[in-house]
């Protein structure tokens, strides 16, 4: 007996078998996923100290926006050698070029 025939015999139809399988997997609801993402975003927002961690945060925000259908609010900080810098204000020359200190 094929898997399809067994599914029909057990559940009455392929659709009912698919639904039974989804219930057996106990897939989390969208509300649970959104709640978990909110918690992870909150935790990650306190751990942004380089581009990688910022990218992880932005990926979580993007995933949440796909569920909520809201516009994501990404972080756009800049880092140089692992240090957060303000590219729109004054830059510390020594931070950018620590080996080539400027003569003042």
Q: What is the DSSP string of the chain?
A: --HHHHHHHHHSSHHHHHHHHHHHHTPPPHHHHHHHHHHHHHHHHT---SHHHHHHHHHHHHHHHHHHT--------EEETTEEE-TTS---HHHH-TTSPPP-
Q: Which of 15-24, 44-53, 87-96 has the lowest mean pLDDT?
A: 87-96
The Cβ of residue 37 has, within 10 Å, a number of other Cβ atoms equal to: 19
Q: Which of 11-15, 77-81, 83-87, 95-99 has the lowest mean pLDDT?
A: 95-99
pLDDT computed for residue 22 by the predictor: 66
CA distance 76 to 90: 17
Question: Full-prediction pTM beyond 0.95?
Answer: no
Per the model's pLDDT, the better-predicted residue between 76 and 93 turns out to be 76
């Amino acid at each position: 007996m094929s898997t399809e025939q067994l599914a029909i015999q057990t559940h009455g139809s392929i659709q009912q078998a698919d639904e039974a399988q989804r219930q057996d997997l106990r897939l989390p609801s969208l509300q649970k996923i959104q709640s978990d993402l909110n918690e992870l975003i909150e935790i990650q927002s306190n751990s942004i100290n380089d581009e990688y961690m910022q990218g992880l945060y932005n990926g979580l925000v993007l995933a949440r926006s796909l569920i909520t259908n809201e516009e994501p609010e990404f972080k756009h900080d800049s880092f140089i050698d692992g240090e957060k810098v303000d590219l729109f204000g004054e830059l510390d020359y020594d931070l950018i070029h620590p080996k080539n200190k400027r003569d003042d």
